[in-house]
Every structure is written in C-alpha cells, then in structure tokens.
Chain A
Amino acid sequence: MSREPPSFAGASCPLPLRDYPKIQMAHGGGGRLTQSLIDHLFLPAFDHAALWARHDGAVLPLGDCRVAFTTDSYVVRPLFFPGGDIGALAVHGTVNDLAMCGARPLALSAGFIIEEGFAMEELARITNSMARAARGCHVPVVTGDTKVVDRGKGDGVYVNTAGLGVIADGVECQPAGARPGDRIILSGEIAAHGIAVLSVREGIEFDTTVESDSAGLWNLVEPILERHAADVHVLRDPTRGGVASALNEIATAAGVGMVLDEALIPVCEQVRGACELLGLDPLYVANEGKCLAIVTPDAADAIAGLIRQHPLGSRAAIVGEVVADHPGTVCLRSTIGSLRILDLLSGEQLPRIC
C-alpha cells in the first residue's frame, strides 16, 4: 500500500472549506461536499498511505499477512424500514466494507449512542437484528461500547461498527487498480435501499413494496476471489451516492475513464417507477447489498456467471467498461444512444417539483 497520493491538479472546483462555515447535510451525502471534506480536512490531517488509497477500509500489513480495518456509523431514519433496520444495516455495511477490500470478516465491534428515554424494546429489537445479521455473515461481534446522551441530544439511537478482516494472498482489490479494458460488473438491481428508506420517511411517505437490499456480501465475493483473485481489480459497494458516485471515485483514484451502458443497468420495475415519479436518478440512489466488480475482460463472463449463482447476485450484469480516454470521468451511453457525463452529485439528490 505504498501508493503516491493521487494528484488533484485536474480536479474541478476544489471547494475550499471556507465556503461552508457550517456543516450541511450534503457534507455527509457521499457527493462532492463529502469529497471536499475528506480532501481538505481529513486526508491532510490524518495523512497516511492507507487513507490515500481511498478504499472502503484500510489495508495494513500484519506480520506475513494483510488485514483490512474499517469503521462506519449508522444514523438511518427511521430505525426500522422495509427490508431492514439500523442494526442489520450496521453489520452488513461494515462486513461489506471489509469484503470490498477482499477481506474475510474476522470480527466486529458495536458501539451504541442511545438517547435517554429510548424504548428498551426497540433497543432489544435492534440488538437481536444485529446478532442475527452477524450470524448470517459468520462474523462475531467481539467488543462494544455503550453511551447514553441527554434526551433531545440524540435521535433515538446511533450505531457504530468497526470490523477487522484478513486478506488472502494474491488478492489485490483497490480503487486505483482499475485498468483500461476492464469490465464493470454490477451484482444486481440497484437503488432499492434508498427508495425503501425514502418511502417511510416523515413527510414523504408513499406506498411501495420496495424493500431494502441490506445484505452481507462476503459470501458472494468469496468464491470469486478463490477462483479469480488475479482478475478482480476493484470491488466496491455503491452505498450512499449510489453507483455513479462509487464509479466516479474509482475513475479518479485509478486515473481512468469509464463508459456505462444505461440499458444494461439492472433496476427493478417498482424502483424505476418510484424514481421516475420522484425525479431521482437510480444511479445516485443508495444500495446496501450490491457490489461493483471491476475485472479483466477475459474473466468477466466467468465472474458474472459465478455472481449469478449466488442468491444475492441472480440479476448480475456486465454494465460497462474501463477506458483510457477521459481519465477521471464516467460516461453513460443513454438509451437513445448518445454519450453523456455521469458526474458526481453536487449535493443531496432532491426531488423535483413537477
């Protein structure tokens, strides 16, 4: 992991922090403002090669082997949503961050920040859901922390998990690893998590049968790495900011371009319908159980086939390719055949008026 820090000389609109004297919601949205916060505050302050790799977790040497180390905090509202809850999400999210480093999850931590007055019954539901999710991912929760804050100073409960995983020899998955010619595989239908959570948020409830795709991905990734380790250059779970943001980050880190084919991107009918109605682009909507795999062209069909054998990957598709042109830029071939830029989102994706 001794990569040089990538150059940001060509990056557009560097957004000095002084433009935003106060934190806005979009600073946590996964788009440009989040990137700006990372680039201008966190990376320079914590300056370390593992951070500059801009991976879902840090990859660190430990004796003869390599471990992956990651952490994530969960503040989702509402706490329970169709297809999941904050507890299961906190396990799946961290397991997936490890899996995207190519690491077998070894152990998790669980930290709870609970608001005074929060219902014990709900905390038990969340905890049991976490335990169930952890068993499903074959990873133990081995340490934890509990804090209670004054009523009104929290929002029910926040959960933090950290995870430790081991990377097998020969596995080299990192965002900078994408190479021209590589194929981009998407493991299934996108945008379900974001739409499911949106559908139950106060003020904007709507009727839908869409359920979150919240799921742990190590079991899906493991057989690919066992058989095709050398062919898998990048793994990424497109969470907040969606597929578009994840691919933009990879394109920037690797200094490559990408071309996606809109017609090949799997989106289920209900999610498409909700996105059409709300004016949202599914490519920017969050997923919690999907994986992007950037792989060598020769192995792409075999790897896509392997993913399809897994229940979570039955709708997997090769959706695009890595190119040498327009480095740092992701393009989309639209359904009517023209090419356009698929940019990082500037702020949160907001529904349109009409």
Chain B
Amino acid sequence: MKYVDEYRNAGDARRMVEAIESIVAHDWTLMEICGGQTHTIVRSGIDRMLPKRITLVHGPGCPVCVTSVALIDTAIALARRPEVILTSFGDMLRVPGSSTDLLRAKADGGDVRMVYSPLDALALAQKHSDRQVVFFAVGFETTAPANALAVWKARRAGVGNFSVLCAHVLVPPAMEAILSDPGNLVQGFLAAGHVCTVTGYREYEPLAQRHRVPITVTGFEPLDVLQGVYLTVRALEADRWGVENQYRRAVTADGNQAAQRMMAEVFEVCDRDWRGIGEIPASGLRLRGEYAEFDAERRFDIAPPTADYSTECIAGQILQGRKRPDQCPAFRVRCTPERPLGAPMVSSEGACAAYYRWGRPG
C-alpha cells in the first residue's frame, strides 16, 4: 500500500539502524510522546534493534490513559441515566474508572455506543430527538478540531439534545511539566506527528530553547520513528537543540489553520487533572462560555464522583517515562487487559498494553 509499505521496509530499517549506530557515542534517553509511536516501537521491535546506548522511554501521549478517573466516573454515571446515550471512541470503553468501566456499564443496561467521529454522535442526537446524546470528548490536539466542529454544528443547527463531556488535553504543557521536574531523565523528544499536523511546531521552539532539548516532530511508521531517533541523536551528539521536522509529508510549521480556528472558536484553555500525574496548569481545553449549553457537566446534575481507585498502579510514572511497564510489580501478574489496574493496560495507545501484547516470545 502506497505511503505505508515504503515506511515498513526491512532493508531501509536496517540501514537506518546502521546510520544511528555510526553516530552514537554517548548514552541518551529519548521520549516518544505519543502512545501510537510506543506501539510502533514495541510492535515492530524497534526498541530491540537500536544500539544499547539509546534508551527509549514512553511518554504521556495516550489520551485515554491520562483522562482522570473522576471524568470516567462521570461518563459512567451519565451512561446509567435512562435518557442518555453515551457515545465515545471505542478506545475509551474499557478504561477503568474507580469501580467499573463503560463496557460493564453497558452490560448493566446503560446505552453506551461506540462512534468513529463526533459528527456521528451528533447525527445520532438528531435521529433520537427524545434522548440526550452525550459525546465523551477525549484526546489531544489531534481530535479537538473535529470535536469542536461537532459542537459548532450542534449550536448552528440548534440540536438541544447533544452535549460533550470534555476531557481534552494539550501536549506542550505536559512536555513542560516533564522537563521542569527535577528528576527528569529525558534528553530529547520525538514529538507526536499527528498532533503537529493540527498545531504545527512553532509552539515547540520556546520549549526547546528554554530547556535546551532537541525535539523532533516524528511520524508513526517504523521508518519514521527510526529517522526521528536518528535526527534527535544527531542533534544531541552535536550539542544542538531546537525543533526538527521528520514528518514533513504531513506537518508544516504553522499546521492546519482552519482546524486551529475551529478549536479557538469553541474551546478555551483550562487547567486539567491528568490521571496518575496530577493537575497541570493550562493543559486542557473546555467549552467557551458561548457553548456552555453543550457542556454535559453543566447540563446534567451529576453527583460528585468518588476517586478512590487502585494505588498499586504506577501509570503516572510510566506516562512520565520514569518507569517501564515491565518494571511494575503488578505487570502481567495482578494487572492484565482483562483485569486492568490502570488505563495504560487497556488503551490501544497505552504503553502497558503495548508491552503486554507485543512482547517478545519468552
């Protein structure tokens, strides 16, 4: 398949690994931001092909993993209301809240439906005018424009039975939090290519300058990731920092401006609680005042959710690159995809799920 096979070519991958081997002279720790990149790395065995001097740690870029337990509990509480159809991306359905998950809420009688697009949720609202359709709006800057568009369209068309439970998060504040942490080990970043297709990469420049780190905007195919590693290591070995763009076939400096305008029209920046990490200032998006009527948290009177959940899960440390999934004592023992203690074990972008699913034959 065009634009896919070229980036999965075994010969090119081997040559890229050799190129990395030829330039690396020191030990380096790199973080790939996006969970999609983590899965490419573990699934295609890139972590095992790289020279030992390079350590890849896995970043916070799994939107499902960082969605707070309180918000998931709110979604489950909404799903249990008889008038509500709770819609979500499939990925969110298995993630545990404090006591259960959306798939179990569905088995208990809740009307939970998987959609591929927030516009499908809006269409569902128009079709079922006697029900309240709530869309669980999860994701980074990648999904925010389409979610904004759904709300914008709902307002324009006067769809009064549609609302969103907003859990949006932003990448740069999370990188800032990781870099500002005194215990930070990360020396270079592979930035999330798909986020940058929307935002561009200008806002990463100040981050790179302030913390003197190389940041390489990187794609998701095996050769993208290998080239991203190459560019980042090359900068580190030359003691250079700044932003480089590996994912040029999709990302420009300014990004998708129509998408940015739609986000700015509907959303405003807010503080956000990240699961396992805590509150990060100015790291989320919520609906602007003009769109408040589409905010599910305002529309429904939801009892304050309890936030008592597993303390054994070290997802916070994993999402910040301080620990690998296989360093967690519960991994594969008390925490499995069937009985997850935390979100990274069940999300398709979660690092623990990647290690569990794509691990090497023992």
Binding site for B on A (CB under 8 A): 12-13, 15, 19, 22-26, 32-33, 203-204, 206, 257, 269, 272-273, 276, 278-279, 325-326, 329, 331, 334-341, 343, 346-347, 350-354
Contact = CB atoms under 8 A, between A and B. Distances in A.
Nearest to A331: B361
Contacts of A325: 361
Contacts of B46: 336, 338
B90 interface: yes
Question: Most chain-B CB neighbours within 10 Å: which of A203, A336, A347, A350?
Answer: A336
B357 interface: yes
B142 A354 contact: yes
A335 B360 contact: no
A141 to B, nearest CB: 35
A137 B1 CA distance: 35
B44 A334 contact: yes
Contacts of B42: 340
A352 B336 contact: no
Interface string B85-121: 0010111111000000001101110000111100011
A26 B90 CA distance: 13
Given A337-B14, A340-B359, A352 B337 contact: no
Contacts of B337: 32, 346-347
A19 B143 contact: no
Nearest to B48: A338
A336 B332 CA distance: 27
Nearest to B63: A353
A354 B120 CA distance: 16
A353 B45 contact: no
Nearest to B138: A353
A340 B43 contact: yes
B338 A32 contact: yes
B140 interface: yes
A200 to B, nearest CB: 13
B360 A341 contact: yes
Contacts of A32: 337-338
Interface stretch (B2-10, B241-249, B268-276): B2-10
A25 B108 contact: no
Given A203-B114, A336-B44, A353 B120 contact: no
B64 interface: yes
Given A203-B124, A352-B348, A269 B357 contact: no
A204 B116 contact: yes
Contact of B139 (A331, A341, A354): A354
Nearest to A269: B1
Given A276-B4, A279-B348, A25 B103 contact: yes
A194 to B, nearest CB: 14
B266 interface: no
Given A15-B338, A338-B45, A347-B103, A272 B114 contact: no
A350 B113 CA distance: 12
A353 B137 CA distance: 10
A257 B14 CA distance: 27
A273 B120 contact: no
B1 A347 contact: no
Contacts of A326: 361-362
From DSSP, what is the main secondary structure of chain A's interface residues? loop
Given A22-B107, A206-B116, A278-B116, A336 B45 contact: yes
Contacts of B94: 347, 350
A352 B90 contact: yes
Contact of A273 (B1, B87, B107): B1
A340 B139 contact: no
A19 B339 contact: yes
Nearest to A276: B4
Nearest 9 A/B pairs, CB to CB = A338-B45, A350-B90, A346-B337, A354-B142, A335-B8, A352-B348, A336-B13, A337-B10, A351-B90
B299 to A, nearest CB: 21
Contacts of B338: 13, 15, 19, 32-33, 346-347
Contact of A350 (B93, B194, B362): B93
B43 A334 contact: yes
Nearest to B87: A203
A348 to B, nearest CB: 8
B91 A22 contact: no
A24 B107 contact: yes
Given A341-B361, A346-B338, A352-B349, A204 B44 contact: no
Contacts of B87: 203
Contact of B108 (A19, A22, A331, A334): A22
Contact of B116 (A272, A331, A343, A351): A351
A26 B346 CA distance: 14
B116 A352 contact: no
29 contacts: A13-B336, A15-B338, A23-B107, A24-B106, A26-B103, A32-B338, A203-B116, A203-B124, A204-B114, A206-B116, A273-B1, A276-B4, A329-B361, A334-B43, A335-B10, A335-B222, A338-B49, A339-B361, A343-B356, A346-B336, A347-B103, A350-B90, A350-B93, A352-B36, A353-B63, A353-B89, A353-B139, A354-B139, A354-B143
Contacts of B45: 334, 336-340
Interface in B326-362: 332, 336-339, 346, 348-349, 356-362
Interface string B211-244: 0000000000011000000000000000000000
B9 to A, nearest CB: 7
Contacts of B143: 353-354
B333 to A, nearest CB: 9
Nearest to A351: B90
B13 A337 contact: yes
Contacts of A353: 63-64, 89, 91-92, 138-139, 142-143, 348-349
A336 B14 CA distance: 8
Given A338-B46, A340-B43, 10 more contacts: A12-B336, A336-B222, A340-B44, A343-B357, A346-B336, A350-B90, A350-B93, A353-B89, A353-B139, A354-B139
Interface string B17-58: 000000000000000000010000011111011000000000
B359 A350 contact: no
A347 B87 CA distance: 19
A228 to B, nearest CB: 31
Nearest to B3: A276
Contacts of A22: 104, 107-108
Contacts of A12: 332, 336
Nearest to A272: B1
